[in-house]
Amino acid sequence: MRPSQDAAPRSPALLTALPLTTGWMAPIVAKGDKLFDSEAGLEFRMKGTHSRLGDAKCKDNCSLRVRFP
């Protein structure tokens, strides 16, 4: 049998189960131990390292929510 015959057909249900993305987050730039939002230029630092969804604090006491894939 050829490998193409062994493969299971792709299901469109898998594509509908994926979440939709409404926009892209600006790239994060790291300079030394500091992190910056590349569009706004705000400096922020991460709280904790084990969470996939972390709180960040920028220098001017504004809160940022950063999601890592």
What pLDDT, in 10s, does the model give residues 5-63? Answer: 555 556 566 556 666 666 666 677 777 777 787 777 788 776 655 444 444 555 554 54
Q: How far is 63 from 58, CA to CA, in rounded Å? A: 6
22 located within any domain: no
Between 65 and 29, whose confidence is greater? Answer: 29
The structure tokens listed for 44 are 């922020």
The structure tokens listed for 52 are 């996939």
Say whether pLDDT at 68 is over 60: no
At residue 51, the pLDDT reads 44
Closest CA to 44 of 11, 55, 52: 55
Is 62 within 8 Å of 69 (Cβ atoms)? no
Domain count, the chain: 1
Structural domain that includes position 64: 27-69
15 located within any domain: no
> 28: which strand partners?
37
56 phi and psi, to 5 degrees?
-125, 150
